[in-house]
Amino acid sequence: MEKKEGSRDLLGTKGYAFVVGLNFLQSIGRLLFALMGLNGGIDQFLDVPVSITTAQALHVMFFFLGIMGFVAAIGFWRKKMWGFWAILLVSVMTIAFDIWGFTIQETAALGFIVPIISLVYLISQRSHITIA
């Protein structure tokens, strides 16, 4: 990532470190949730009964978003432009997944917090970086 002339260093700000840290935490949390669900099924953590297909879809998505979120956070932490775009993509996918999850259990709304913070930060700072 290159800094535009006359702009402040996006990647040296506290906001940058905060967004990277939040994305690492969320991806680790999603992976741990999926791993804990291996023994007894992920539906053991839900307040309402779900079909086997729905439970499997939840499980796969937790693994997928956890792995992709971790890779995206590493890329962004290493100041790679693909990491910037990966954080944006994973944030949008996470919001879509959690909208669906919210129809199953209301606590899925907690999953909106990190992606919304990430999107607001990255979109508000987009003018400070260019694609290398």
Query: How far is CA 52 from its chain centroid?
Result: 25
Domain hosting residue 106, numbered range: 10-130
Query: How far is CA 112 from its chain centroid?
Result: 9
What is the per-residue pLDDT for 12? 60
pLDDT in tens, 84-126: 999 999 999 999 999 998 988 888 889 999 999 999 999 888 7
Flag whether 4 is in a domain: no
What is the per-residue pLDDT for 7? 45
Flag whether 102 is in a domain: yes
Flag whether 72 is in a domain: yes
What is the per-residue pLDDT for 11? 55
Flag whether 70 is in a domain: yes
Average pLDDT, the chain: 86
Flag whether 1 is in a domain: no
Flag whether 44 is in a domain: yes
Percent of the chain with pLDDT over 90: 50
Which structure tokens are listed for 78?
A: 């290493």
With 60 as the cut, is the pLDDT of residue 28 above it? yes
Flag whether 5 is in a domain: no
Quick one: pLDDT band at residue 6, thresholds 50, 70, 90? very low
Name residue, tokens 């499980």. 59
With 80 as the cut, is the pLDDT of residue 2 above it? no
Q: How far is CA 44 from CA 40, 101, 105, 130, in A?
A: 7, 15, 13, 45
Mean pLDDT of 18-46: 88
Quick one: pLDDT band at residue 31, thresholds 50, 70, 90? very high
Dist CA 1 CA 132 (whole Å): 5
Flag whether 14 is in a domain: yes
Number of domains in the chain: 1
What is the per-residue pLDDT for 55? 85
Mean pLDDT of 24-43: 87
